[in-house]
Structure 1
């Protein structure tokens, strides 16, 4: 995606065009997005839009690049060790669940699946800057917790993947199929709390057990 930078012009209304395109692409996907609709959403003329982006493909790639950066900026930052693991994991799990059920998260998911053949690099970049980054940061936290004696984990990467999947139990599938009741705070709290309890039952240091 970095190769598109030389072909994209930047100017006073660049961010405005990009935000309009973001709204339309997330709502309608690449194939369904219409340049006229993007211009209307951005509040610019079609001539202005084409001045910045000669074709829809370049615009889509630029939106994808910006969204990858947004994901990276908003990725979960974990506690420095002052809080107990169950509290840290609940906060991290809630962030994961919130993203899964968000309009943005679902829009990204649908675009990556629908456009994986046309733009395979987009799905790869979204994973690296979003789920992949969260996975790495979670693994780093778990590694530190193990070193402190708060958790007992042999396969850190597997444990990080397991926790992330537990936090998406039921809500991912229900959200994809637009079923009701998967976005309430009560539902998300219940699922994440269950994920933390199951994770701690498997990897937590038992009470009375001597820490390494």
Structure 2
């Protein structure tokens, strides 16, 4: 998961730096975020900031990793894995969509895409710690459901790629291209339900 991230030295004010950097990146973007602004927002010295992160790119990658992991862990805590696949997958889909459409998810996605030609490691780091990490966790669940006889899947990698894409139907492009700037729970529930219905029509036991 962390192949794109160098070893980072952590200290007493590490979380403080991450919190401040997150606010600045979300507000100003990658280019607009200066080390001075981040240090000021985090209420630390530049020397403290540089003691943790060698440059702004490494800091951005750690911000993305930290928030993606936090949201994934929170989503897992809310899902009862003993429920039938329809319930588990609907909950997982809704959690994924809330991340896709959160201010953080949208802003980090846009930054990673905008900077991918100059700093491809930013895009790779977001992919490894966001979509790829969610994919690994989904595969773990799918394997367990197959073992229980709840699902029948020949190509589990393909299935794990398909479900998140089904969750992006209709809403994702509207958000990315500025057609809408937010969505209701009813809209999210509609897409999640349709995604799971289609998924289970193919892979349900």
Q: TM-score, normalised by structure 1?
A: 0.80
- What is the CA–CA distance in structure 2 between the aligned matches of 1:136 and 1:2, rounded to whole Å? 18
- Which structure 1 segments of 5+ residues have no match? 206-212
Q: Deviations over 1:144-176 (max 9, x none)?
A: 212222112211111111111111112211111
Conservation of the 8 A alpha-carbon contact between 2:22 and 2:63: no
Corresponding residue for residue 183 of structure 1: 183
Q: Give yes or no for the alignment of 1:87 onto 2:84.
A: no
Corresponding residue for residue 21 of structure 2: 21
Change (3 A) 1:57 1:177: farther
Q: Give yes or no for the alignment of 1:38 onto 2:38.
A: yes
- What is the CA–CA distance in structure 2 between the aligned matches of 1:138 and 1:57, rounded to whole Å? 33
- Which structure 2 segments of 5+ residues have no match? none
Corresponding residue for residue 116 of structure 2: 116
Q: RMSD over aligned Cα, in angstroms?
A: 2.6
Tell me how far 1:184 sits from its aligned partner. 1.0
Q: TM-score, normalised by structure 2?
A: 0.82
Corresponding residue for residue 154 of structure 2: 154
- What is the CA–CA distance in structure 2 between the aligned matches of 1:149 and 1:15, rounded to whole Å? 43
Divergent runs of 4+, >4 A: 10-14
Change (3 A) 1:3 1:132: closer
Corresponding residue for residue 209 of structure 1: none
Corresponding residue for residue 139 of structure 1: 139
Corresponding residue for residue 96 of structure 1: 96
- What is the CA–CA distance in structure 2 between the aligned matches of 1:91 and 1:106, rounded to whole Å? 20
- The alignment of Structure 1 onto Structure 2 pairs a total of residues equal to 197
